[in-house]
A = this chain, B = another copy of it.
Amino acid sequence: MTPTIKDVAKKANVSIATVSRILNNKPGFTPETKLKVLKVIEEIGYQPNGMARGLINKKTQTIGVIFPNVSNMYSAEVLSGIEDAAHEDGSSVIVCKTDSSMERTMKYLRVLAEKRVDGIVFASEMIKEPFYKFMQDVKIPVVLLSSISYQYPIPYVKVDDRHAAYTATIYLIEQGHKKIAMICGDRNDLIAGIPRVEGYKEALQHSGISVIEDYIINANGFAYHNGQEAMDEILVKKLDVTAIFASSDEMALGVLTTAHQKGIKIPDDFSVMGYDDLKLAQMSIPQLTTVAQPLYNMGKSAASMLFEMIATGEQVQSRIMPHSIIKRDSVKERL
């Protein structure tokens, strides 16, 4: 069917060894034979077989990336960075979407192991014991993205969520706000949930503002509708706040929409602040003031770190990526 190295060898009147050398630029052939072989390759349209190659080299030039979800801008942006890094490294990336299901995650881990990927980027999800155990077992290098493990020594790349939330809250306070609600995406989320709430609380305390637990709204996720619901709650509870800090841009947009529907003006009646700085943060009306995560770079870094681990066989250092406040129009100074 598809021509093999043998076909090339035969047609070029050389041995497969020679062809192989030429293909891999290993010393041991004259320019003439090279030319001759290359010509044959061109003629018969030979494509090396990656599997056969990988079988020997024990390298697939492929990494896997595991996401809970791929149909949101967050993952899309991160994936873009990963893809670019992989491209630079001459590798491909297999995307796996788990829907946050343990079974599906384990299944993918197994698949990636069978496919002998060189490494795995594990994104936006806590690493459970069976996952770690398995990856440990099959000895596949892993780096965590927007996640962290307190129990296992896995390198990660993420922003300091606590500090980012702290900064955001301080910004709000600097703008004159004292009564600030926080919409936390998931109270049980050890990464994107709790630390952000802590940062928020800390900022208040450091500013001499007492924390009011009622001001902390627990949404059940980070999505748009969660933001809408949270805003509803703020409204029915008639929370006496002047600013709302949502721990995702999507939720912040939900707040914007619900506010608008109720005839509430942002930022006049409430200031609102998001988290992530997705592209849609600039597309909203008003444009969203938010704390930015360098999503693309986080993806790129994670992949680069992975490639370094693969190349050196050693652990790499985790990276805390810089966050920053993007000032736009959804926060108004309160005098």
Within 8 A of B (CB), among A274-307: 279-280, 282-285, 287, 296
Separation of A139 and B95 alpha carbons in the complex (Å)? 24
Q: Which of the 9-residue segments A32-40, A54-62, A187-195 touches chain B?
A: A54-62
A47: interface (CB < 8 Å): yes
In the complex, A224 Cα to B278 Cα: how many Å?
Answer: 13
Stoichiometry (number of copies): 2
Contacts of A176 in B (CB 8 A): none
Residue of B113, B224, B285 near A279 (CB, 8 A) is B224
Taking CB as reference atom, which chain B residue is nearest A92? B94
Once bound together, how far apart are the Cα atoms of A277 and B280, in whole Å? 15
A178 interfacial contact with B, CB 8 Å:
no
Q: Which residues of B contact A138 (CB under 8 A)?
A: 2, 45, 47
A203 proximal to B (CB < 8 A)? no
Mark the stretch among A70-78, A161-169, A210-218 that contacts chain B: A70-78
Instruction: Tell whether A83 is near chain B: CB-to-CB under 8 Å.
Output: yes
Expressed in whole angstroms, the Cα–Cα distance for A176 and B80 within the complex equals 43
User: In this assembly, does A79 line the interface, its C-beta being within 8 Å of a C-beta of chain B?
Assistant: yes
B110 touches A47 (CB 8 A): yes
Q: How far is the CA of A1 from the CA of B69 in the complex (A)?
A: 33
Partner of A285, one of B49, B55, B284: B284
Q: Does A93 contact B (CB under 8 A)?
A: yes
* Residues in B whose Cβ lies below 8 Å from that of A254: 283
Q: A47-B138, A224-B283, A283-B284 are in contact. Are A71 and B62 (CB under 8 A)?
A: no
**From A49, which residue of chain B is reached at the shortest CB distance?**
B116
Residue pair A116, B51 in contact (C-beta under 8 Å): yes
A50 at the interface (CB under 8 A from B): yes
CA distance A51 to B253 in the complex (A): 46
Q: Is the CB of B55 within 8 A of A52?
A: yes
One digit per residue, 1 when the CB lies within 8 angstroms of any chain B CB and 0 when it does not, for chain A 137-149 equals 1110000000000
What CA separation (Å) do A282 and B110 show in the bound complex? 38
Please measure, in the bound complex, the distance between the C-alpha atom of A105 and the C-alpha atom of B283, giving whole angstroms.
Answer: 30
Query: At the interface, yes or no: A243 with Cβ under 8 Å from chain B?
Result: no
Q: For A50, give its contact among B47, B72, B84, B115 (CB under 8 Å).
A: B115
- Candidates B48, B49, B75, B83; contact of A76 at CB < 8 Å: B75
Decide if B71 touches A76 in the complex (CB within 8 Å).
yes
Q: Return A92 CB to nearest CB of chain B, in Å.
A: 5
Please, which residues of chain B bring their CB within 8 A of the CB of A320? none
The CA-CA distance from A296 to B72 in the complex, in Å, is: 12
Residues of B within 8 A of A60 (CB): 51
Q: Tell me, yes or no, whether A111 is within 8 Å of chain B by CB.
A: yes
A121 at the interface (CB under 8 A from B): no
Say yes or no: A80 contacts B76, CB within 8 Å. no
